[in-house]
């Protein structure tokens, strides 16, 4: 017997454990501790009241995390997984249908998700449910990076960076790259600006640094300012490994490649389902 229960009815440590079990033997290793899970909830705007635990014979067997932005009338499937012994038995299709049904009941207009391109089973499931691909998302990496410092870098606060991204970024950016998400990043993240060029990165004091945003205001595009800022920020943190997570639109890849980044094998599809 299949049923669902609100994720808000469970303790966070139990949800963390269920999330890890639901992604056991996944294409890429996924293992959250409680602190990492709490960070994801806050940063991605996950609504535990709208999120669901899948029950099979009243026992937890999967999890669907729903991020919501009521002002946009949209939601995002931030994670959906089924425990290993229940996969391939139809529980995933039933669960996804239930999550979509509840999104319509909330009067959300759209649902978004990202799915690993190489995960053929999940991709087929989402396509069967009516999701359409918007664009490919790619990841890139540059190891032991060194550059010459061209100028001092001006630091700005994350809320300012978020507002600028909301104002000048693409209207359909992946959820994790939107200005609202950027403004909620961990305080150890840093944002830098050089005139109309803006860059946001994770904690630069550690060995591996993730890039969360690289943006140039529209009137200044086409002048190489994004590559210049990227190289200049790298120059201030020599010898680090820089990572562009596989949530960046493929059309931005050339910017990073001109700065010495190499594309990784993992890619995703950004997908959308119109609900009304």
Sign of CA dihedral 55, 59, 65, 70: positive
What pLDDT tens digit does each residue of the chain (276 aa) get?
999 999 999 999 999 999 999 999 888 888 999 999 999 999 899 999 999 999 999 999 999 999 998 777 899 999 999 999 988 889 999 999 999 999 999 999 999 999 999 999 999 999 999 999 999 999 999 999 999 988 888 999 999 999 999 999 999 999 999 999 999 898 999 999 999 999 999 999 999 999 999 999 999 999 999 999 999 999 999 999 999 999 999 999 999 999 999 999 999 999 999 998
β-partners of residue 272 are: 112, 132
> How is residue 66 annotated by DSSP?
E
The residue ranges of every structural domain in the chain are 2-108, 139-267
Sign of CA dihedral 11, 14, 20, 21: negative
C-alpha distances out from residue 32 to 5, 12, 126, 152, Å: 21, 11, 24, 37
Kind of pairing between the strands at 132-145 and 190-194: unpaired
Kind of pairing between the strands at 110-116 and 74-82: parallel
Domains 2-108 and 139-267 share a fold: yes
Question: In the CATH hierarchy, which fold is given to the domain comprising 2-108?
Answer: Aminopeptidase (3.40.630)
Q: Tell me which architecture the domain covering 139-267 has in CATH.
A: 3-Layer(aba) Sandwich (3.40)
């Amino acid at each position: 017997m299949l049923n669902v229960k609100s994720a808000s009815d469970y303790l966070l440590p139990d949800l963390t454990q269920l999330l890890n079990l639901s992604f056991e033997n996944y294409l890429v290793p996924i293992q959250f501790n409680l602190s990492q899970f709490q960070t994801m909830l806050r940063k991605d705007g996950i609504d535990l009241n709208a999120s669901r635990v899948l029950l099979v014979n009243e026992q937890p067997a999967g999890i669907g995390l729903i991020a919501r932005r009521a002002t946009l009338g949209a939601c995002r499937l931030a994670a959906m997984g089924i425990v290993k012994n229940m996969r391939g038995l139809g529980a995933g299709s039933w669960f996804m249908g239930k999550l979509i049904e509840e999104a319509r009941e909330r009067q959300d207009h759209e649902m978004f998700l990202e799915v690993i391109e190489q995960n053929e089973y999940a991709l087929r499931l989402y396509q069967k449910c009516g999701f359409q691909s918007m664009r490919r998302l790619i990841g890139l990496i540059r190891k032991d990076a060194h550059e010459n410092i061209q100028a001092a870098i001006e630091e700005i606060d994350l809320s300012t960076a978020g507002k600028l991204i909301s104002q000048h970024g693409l209207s359909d950016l992946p959820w994790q790259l939107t200005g609202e998400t950027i403004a909620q990043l961990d305080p150890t993240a840093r944002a830098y600006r050089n005139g109309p060029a803006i860059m946001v990165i994770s904690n630069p004091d550690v060995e591996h640094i993730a890039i969360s945003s690289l943006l140039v205001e529209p009137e200044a595009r086409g002048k190489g300012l994004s590559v210049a800022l990227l190289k200049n920020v790298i120059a201030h943190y020599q010898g680090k490994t820089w990572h562009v997570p596989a949530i960046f639109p493929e059309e931005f890849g050339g910017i990073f490649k001109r700065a010495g980044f190499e594309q990784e094998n993992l890619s995703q599809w950004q997908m959308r389902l119109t609900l009304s």
